[in-house]
């Protein structure tokens, strides 16, 4: 879609698709993602270690772009420095004024860097400006004082990411325009600056009637960049994106069984599931966008409006609905004669977080389904269901979790000190 838009607008820069690792770090996901000439965006120490592992196993080479975002602590900048020293194609994106000193000790001859601009959020956000990135008014100064005359640092990229995503709204278009005006201003004094990165944020379907004009929005992004740069007499930049959720979100589903129907008053029926919405579906918790919920079987049965309840005692453990109502249409069924399954769809992003357990409800088994070259469907078990005993161990209970008289855990003590 970006390439089509670039052709339509005779755009003279390149487009680079980076995959945002935080959306899913699962190995089988990366195996698939990296088959598509995808570059990587990382944001933590652990991500940098995954990069080394991907290189060791031949999944990436040293030309693969590694865009390093995030607010960086010592261990993370050390990992970034190691990647640079080892010859990886790294662009650390400076997130705070203090970060720049971290790259002083590197022996490499030159280091390409980016600067992330702190974007403003939509009016509905609880704060105005993102905590990540450098504020607009400080960007040019940062370049002049710390990068322009530096012997090694070369500013290559200006970056921004809008948390609320790429929406066809006045606030997104005005944020993009501000960002591009800053790019043009900086580009006039910084000849090495040749790329912009507009982060992630393409949405996925969160309701069955979801519609989003991906090609239209992308066309408008490319046109906006083109127009603003042309008006400022600036060559259009190469364009990077970092789509996480869009890349993997729609690839996953979580399936529960309805274990009981509870009529709790004259009108309300709860379908109780064999799991917890709090455990297994991060998006159900704390996010406005909830996954699509549909019955998996019995589609020909008469329907009724029900509430879906998780099996923990947490008051919030219920499906909150994708369209401002917690009620969902589910088939009527005889719980003693028939099985009923319910699917939360499009849960492919941020799965690691959802695998944390709550109230000792075991994490469900994880099955991968894939089509082979002939279109035949195959499935394999990625991880078995976590037993409650495993969860108990994570909490420090279990026969081999000996404790000393001062209360510390002896079996783990050595490794913590080490
Ligand atoms: C800097 C940055 N890039 C990319 C992304 C990915 O966003 P999304 O998954 O919405 O595409 C994020 C997500 O938080 C981010 O912070």
What's the mean pLDDT in 64-89? 96
Q: Tell how far the Cα of 160 is from the centroid of ligand 1, in angstroms.
A: 10
Pick from 22, 70, 241 the residue to mutate for probing ligand 1's pocket: most ligand atoms within 8 Å of its CB.
Answer: 22
Tokens 């969860």 correspond to 391
Length of the chain: 418
Q: Could you tell me the distance, in angstroms and rounded to a whole number, from the CA of residue 200 to the centre of ligand 1?
A: 4
Residue closest by Cα to atom 7 of ligand 1: 200
Alpha helices in 154-213 (DSSP H): 170-189
Tell me which of 6-10, 181-185, 275-279, 406-410 is least confident: 406-410
pLDDT at residue 330 tops 80: yes
Are 293 and 344 in contact by the 8 Å Cβ rule? The answer is: yes
Nearest residue (CA) to ligand 1, atom 12: 200
Q: Quick one: which atom of ligand 1 is closest to the CA of 246?
A: 11
Q: What is the CA radius of gyration of the chain?
A: 25
Closest ligand 1 atom to 199 CA: 3
Ligand 1 centre from 201 Cα, in Å?
A: 6
- Ligand 1 atom showing the smallest separation from residue 243 Cα: 11
Query: What is the reported pLDDT for 389?
Result: 75
Cα-based distances in Å from 176 to 72, 132, 154, 211, 403: 25, 16, 24, 22, 56
The pLDDT of residue 384: 85
**Domain span(s) for CATH 2.40.37.10 in the chain:** 252-383
Mean pLDDT, residues 129-150 taken together: 94
Q: Which has the minimum average pLDDT: 67-81, 102-116, 226-240, 344-358?
A: 344-358
For the cut 70, the answer to whether the pLDDT of residue 418 exceeds it is no
Report percent pLDDT > 70 for the chain.
Answer: 89
pLDDT exceeds cutoff 50 at 410? no
For ligand 1, the distance from its centroid to the CA atom of residue 384, given in whole angstroms, is: 29
Average pLDDT of the residues in 144-149: 95
What atom of ligand 1 comes closest to residue 349's alpha carbon?
9
pLDDT band at 226; cut points 50, 70, 90? very high
State in Å: Cα 243 to ligand 1 middle: 6
Query: What number does the ligand 1 atom closest to the CA of 245 have?
Result: 9
Q: Which residue has the tokens 């709860």?
A: 270
Q: Which CATH class is domain 2-248?
A: alpha beta
Q: For the chain, what is the mean pLDDT?
A: 89
Can you tell me the mean pLDDT for 29-52?
A: 96
- Say what the pLDDT of residue 232 is: 97
Instruction: Answer yes or no: are the C-beta atoms of 162 and 170 closer than 8 Å.
Output: no
Ligand 1 centroid, distance to 70 Cα (angstroms): 10
Lowest mean pLDDT across 57-66, 209-218, 319-328: 319-328
* CA-nearest residue, atom 14 of ligand 1: 163
Q: Which range has the top average pLDDT, 228-242, 274-288, 358-372?
A: 228-242
Report the helix count and the strand count for the chain, using DSSP H and E. 12, 16
pLDDT of residue 280: 53
Q: Which atom of ligand 1 is nearest to the CA of 43?
A: 1
> Quick one: how far is CA 257 from the chain centroid?
28
Residue 321 confidence (pLDDT) = 77
* Separation of CA 126 and ligand 1 centre (Å): 19
User: Do the beta carbons of residue 362 and residue 385 sit within 8 Å?
Assistant: yes
What distance in Å separates the CA atoms of residue 272 and residue 308, rounded to the nearest whole number? 6
Is pLDDT above 60 for 403?
A: no
Residues of the chain with CATH 3.20.20.10: 2-248
Helix ranges, 191-319 (H):
214-231, 245-248, 277-280
The residues, any chain, with a CB within 8 Å of residue 235's CB and separated by 6 or more, are 12, 13, 187, 194, 229
- Closest CA to ligand 1's atom 2: 199
Domain at 252-383, CATH homologous superfamily? Lyase, Ornithine Decarboxylase; Chain A, domain 1 (2.40.37.10)
What pLDDT, in 10s, does the model give residues 240-285?
A: 999 999 999 999 999 999 999 999 999 999 999 998 887 655 544 4
Site of tokens 């992003």: 349
Measured in whole angstroms, the distance separating CA 66 from the mean position of its chain's CA atoms is 16
pLDDT of residue 397: 77
CA angle 53, 59, 61 (to 5 degrees): 90
Angle between helices 74-85 and 45-56 (to 10 degrees): 30
Mean pLDDT within 306-316? 91
> In the structure, which protein residues have their CB atom closer than 6 angstroms to any atom of ligand 1?
20, 23, 41, 69, 161, 165, 199-202, 242-246
Higher pLDDT, 75 or 364: 75
């Amino acid at each position: 879609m970006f390439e089509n838009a670039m052709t339509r607008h005779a755009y003279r820069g390149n487009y680079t698709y980076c995959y945002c690792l935080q959306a899913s770090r699962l190995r089988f996901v990366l195996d698939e993602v990296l088959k598509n000439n995808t570059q990587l965006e990382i944001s933590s120490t652990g991500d940098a270690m995954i990069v080394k592992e991907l290189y060791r196993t031949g999944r990436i080479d040293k030309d693969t772009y590694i865009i390093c975002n995030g607010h960086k602590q010592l261990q993370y900048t050390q990992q970034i420095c190691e990647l640079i020293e080892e010859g990886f194609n790294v662009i650390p994106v400076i997130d705070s004024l203090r970060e720049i000193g971290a790259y002083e000790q590197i022996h490499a001859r030159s280091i390409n860097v980016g600067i992330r601009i702190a974007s403003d959020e939509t009016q509905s956000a609880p704060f105005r400006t993102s905590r990540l990135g450098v504020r607009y008014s400080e960007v040019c100064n940062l370049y002049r004082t710390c990068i322009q005359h530096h012997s090694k640092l070369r500013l290559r990229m200006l970056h921004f990411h809008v948390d609320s995503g790429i929406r066809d709204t006045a606030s997104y278009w005005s944020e993009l325009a501000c960002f591009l005006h800053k790019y043009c201003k900086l580009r006039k004094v910084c000849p090495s600056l040749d790329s912009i990165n507009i982060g992630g944020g393409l949405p996925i379907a969160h309701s069955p009637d979801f519609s989003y004009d991906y090609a239209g929005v992308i066309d408008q992004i490319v046109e906006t960049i083109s127009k603003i740069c042309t008006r400022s007499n600036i060559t259009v930049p190469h364009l990077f994106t970092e789509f996480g959720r869009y890349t993997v979100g729609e690839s996953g589903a979580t399936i529960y069984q309805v274990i009981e129907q509870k009529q709790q008053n004259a009108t309300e029926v709860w379908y109780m599931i064999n799991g917890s919405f709090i455990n297994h579906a991060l998006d159900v918790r704390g996010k406005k966008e909830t996954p699509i919920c549909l019955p998996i079987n019995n589609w020909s049965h008469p329907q009724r409006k029900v509430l879906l309840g998780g099996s923990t005692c947490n008051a919030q453990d219920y499906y909150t609905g994708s369209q401002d109502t917690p009620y969902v249409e589910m088939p009527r069924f005889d719980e003693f004669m028939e099985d009923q399954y319910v699917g939360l769809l499009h849960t492919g992003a941020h799965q690691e977080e959802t695998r944390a357990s709550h109230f000792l409800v075991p994490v469900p088994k994880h099955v991968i389904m894939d089509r082979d070259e002939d279109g035949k469907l195959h499935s394999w078990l990625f991880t078995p269901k976590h037993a409650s005993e495993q969860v108990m161990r994570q909490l420090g209970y279990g026969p081999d979790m000996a404790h000393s008289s001062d209360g510390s855990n002896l079996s783990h003590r050595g490794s913590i000190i080490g």
